[in-house]
């Protein structure tokens, strides 16, 4: 079974600094996808970034980048120039192939607090 591990229950960062949120995964699939979602206090899950297992370059989306190290099975999220609005829960997820249906398996999340 596939598994996602987020070992940091909470992280603190000062505004304008960069922060890395850790995510490791375990899978026997050769083809898989990794996602990061942001969940602010309102509860909505907001898609941030995606990395495919065959993508040779690390994914980037604005201030978000994904540090993908396939051999280490890690997919860390890097947020550059943190803003107060980045304070939220962040979830790493992996797409699991299940007879053609692409199921997402989520980690337990990391709470990020950005201070002024």
Partner 1 sequence: SQTIHQWPATLVQPVGSPLSLECTVEGTSNPNLYWYRQAAGRGLQLLFYSVGIGQISSEVPQNLSASRPQDRQFILSSKKLLLSDSGFYLCAWSVLIGGSTDTQYFGPGTRLTVL
Given a contact cutoff of 8 angstroms between Cβ atoms, the answer to whether 38 and 88 are in contact is yes
Instruction: List the x/- string, 77-96, binding to partner 1 by CB under 8 A.
Output: --------------x-x-x-
The residue (of 33 and 76) whose beta carbon lies closer to partner 1 is 33
Given a contact cutoff of 8 angstroms between Cβ atoms, the answer to whether 20 and 76 are in contact is yes
- From 1, 28, 44, 116, residue interacting with partner 1 (rule: CB under 8 A): 44
Q: Taking the CA atoms of the chain, what radius of gyration do you get in angstroms?
A: 14
- From 35, 36, 68, 90, residue interacting with partner 1 (rule: CB under 8 A): 35
58 vs 95: CA distance, rounded Å: 17
If one asks whether residue 47 binds partner 1 (CB under 8 A), the answer comes out as yes
């Amino acid at each position: 079974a596939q598994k996602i591990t987020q070992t940091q229950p909470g992280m603190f960062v000062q505004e304008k600094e960069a922060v890395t949120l850790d995510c490791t995964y375990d899978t026997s699939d050769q083809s898989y996808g990794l996602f990061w979602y942001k969940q602010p206090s309102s509860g909505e899950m907001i898609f941030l970034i995606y990395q495919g297992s065959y993508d040779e370059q690390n994914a980037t989306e604005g201030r978000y980048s994904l540090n993908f190290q396939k051999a280490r099975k890690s997919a860390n999220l890097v947020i550059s120039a943190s803003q107060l609005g980045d304070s939220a829960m962040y979830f790493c997820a992996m797409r699991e192939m299940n007879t053609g249906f692409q199921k997402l398996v989520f980690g337990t999340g990391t709470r990020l607090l950005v201070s002024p």
